Chains A and B, each alone.
Chain A
Amino acid sequence: MKRFAFGLLAALLATTAQAEPMATGDLGLVIERARGSVLLVDQSDRAALARIEGLGDLSHASLVYSPDERFAYVFGRDGGLTKVDIVTRQVVNRVVQAGNAIGGAISDDGKLVAVSNYEPGGVRVFDADTLEMVADIPTGGKTIGLVDAPGRRFVFTGWDNGETWIADFSGPEMELTKIKDMGENPYDALITANGRTYITGLFGEDGLTALDLWDETPEPIRVLPGYGRGQQEMPVYKMPHLEGWAHTGEEFVLPAVGHHEVLWVDAATLTETGRTKTYGQPVFAMARPDGRHVWVNFAHPLNDTIQVIDTVSKQVIHEFKPGPAVLHMEFTPRGHEIWISVRDADKVMVYDTHTFEKLREIDAESPSGIFFTARAHRTGL
């Protein structure tokens, strides 16, 4: 009887320990690019919780979350697709699906994970549970700007051929729609939060190209053609990323290429509404979730600085230098704080977005992308 009681107590203790609930809504992962690991972080505690290793070459890595915010799918440069369980804090599956990859997306229902590849060029789609390949979509060239779109679709673009393809997985068979003439050398793309507008930035010419995905047969729409005409082109030491949607005034804010400015575009008419001169070649122009401010970082060698632009006045209202090699920024979901990767300081720095005061530094090894789990519920992230 005594033994039984002891056994019961032990079982109870074990159960209690195991049953400690693990909420993930305020967690995030930071890519440690040189080490091939991700750092699990807690927004509320402003702290690192654990390091998860063995993810391969993460020199240009990104990730998406499962709808339940438990699993992260990490896309590595080496073609690795790694499924990380942030509750148990371990790698639960990993496939090397290509030789050289650039990014990925998860379908709106959370069942499909797609990866865009440089080598072999194209998109491969995997079952989110098992990581078994369910579709292989060769494009014949480097493939960029892969996003999820509503209706179990993925949209992506060819760097070499300037075509945007829509892969529709809503039916029993995948359906491909190909849209030609998007422009010369599209380098990245974004989709608006409502899933309606897909915009590619062009490296080979001034301007951008938009698609209205609500249209039955989307046609390329030229945006700001020749925006840099007559200006001296400046060398681009890092390709910008497109990931910004300023809600205030219903405008996009986008980095220019070869010019030290950000461009403002009316979302309804896709016409220019302004430009703001910036400190350097913008890499990310990220709107705070409320849309009031846009935070901009810059390409090498001016990558130690951040500028904050007010979206009403379109003026730079704050400039500061977090440290050497600011690679990425992530807002908390309501925008009260921003987390900034400062690669060469080996720190993630947390700032108050209203007072611009630094709140915390967190050690991380060559940190790059920061991804909070709230992304799980947003189209295109």
Chain B
Amino acid sequence: MPELAYANSARGHPAARRNIWTGRTFLTAAVFVATSAFAADTLDPAALKRLVHQDCGSCHGLSLKGGLGPDLRAENLQHYDVDVLTTVILDGIPDTPMPPWRPLMTEEEAEWIARYLLTPEEQ
């Protein structure tokens, strides 16, 4: 059930979510939201994490400390919101080496990466 694991990690501390899981109605609703909003059936957090560190890491460094591309550690991204980062990931930045990743990922995946980058404890 990777979608539930994902919903947990992205939307709140597992302990806080546990109360909700106790109600079947809420559980159903949560799964429905996760599925529709994040295409959870295709999201693979482990693969996305790997992509961030290994492939974004080609320019931004394996540990995201920067290289040809800028430092992407969470503490340096706090002045961006999720939407801006998602757009940068999907469409790139013209006249820079940052390519558009839209051909390779869904909007949901880009948004997952944006949230991941903004969450220091995740990295």
Contacts and interface: CB of A to CB of B under 8 A. Distances in A.
Interface string B59-86: 1011101111000000000000000000
A34 interface: yes
A57 B58 contact: no
A239 B103 contact: no
Contacts of B100: 235
Contacts of B50: 344
A142 B68 contact: yes
Contact of B68 (A34, A118, A301): A118
A78 interface: yes
B61 to A, nearest CB: 6
Contacts of B97: 185, 187, 203, 236, 239
Contact of A100 (B58, B67, B92, B95): B67
Nearest to B97: A203
A60 B58 CA distance: 7
A118 B67 contact: yes
Contacts of A78: 65
A77 interface: yes
A237 B62 contact: no
A273 B92 CA distance: 33
Contacts of B15: none
B68 A159 contact: yes
Given A235-B92, A235-B99, A239-B68, A301 B62 contact: no
- What bracket does the count of chain A residues touching chain B fall in? 20 to 34
Contact of B54 (A100, A204, A235, A325): A325
A102 interface: yes
A235 B92 CA distance: 9
Nearest to B65: A100
Interface centre among A59, A102, A204 (most CB of B within 10 A): A59
A300 interface: yes
B99 A236 contact: yes
Contacts of B58: 60, 237-239, 300
Contacts of A100: 61, 65-67
A53 interface: no
Nearest to A283: B58
A34 B54 CA distance: 9
Contacts of B62: 33-34, 57, 59-60, 77
A313 to B, nearest CB: 32
Interface in B34-58: 50, 54-55, 57-58
Contacts of B101: 235, 237
Nearest to B66: A100
Given A118-B67, A118-B68, A237-B99, A57 B55 contact: no
Interface string A51-88: 00000010110000000000000000110000000000
Interface in B74-123: 92, 95, 97, 99-101, 103-104
A293 interface: no
A343 interface: yes
B55 A77 contact: no
Contacts of A187: 68, 97
A119 interface: yes
A57 B65 CA distance: 10
B63 A57 contact: yes
A204 B61 CA distance: 21
Contacts of A238: 55, 58-59
Nearest to A237: B99
Interface in A181-211: 185, 187, 203-204
Interface string A237-268: 11100000000000000000000000000000
A118 B99 contact: no
A363 to B, nearest CB: 19
A159 B55 CA distance: 21
A239 B61 CA distance: 13
Interface of A: 33-34, 57, 59-60, 77-78, 100, 102, 118-119, 142, 159, 185, 187, 203-204, 235-239, 300-301, 325, 343-344
- The 10 lowest CB-CB distance pairs between A and B, nearest first, are A59-B62, A235-B99, A300-B55, A238-B58, A235-B100, A59-B61, A236-B99, A301-B104, A237-B99, A77-B61
15 contacts: A57-B61, A59-B63, A60-B58, A118-B66, A119-B66, A187-B68, A187-B97, A235-B100, A237-B99, A237-B101, A238-B58, A238-B59, A239-B97, A325-B54, A343-B54
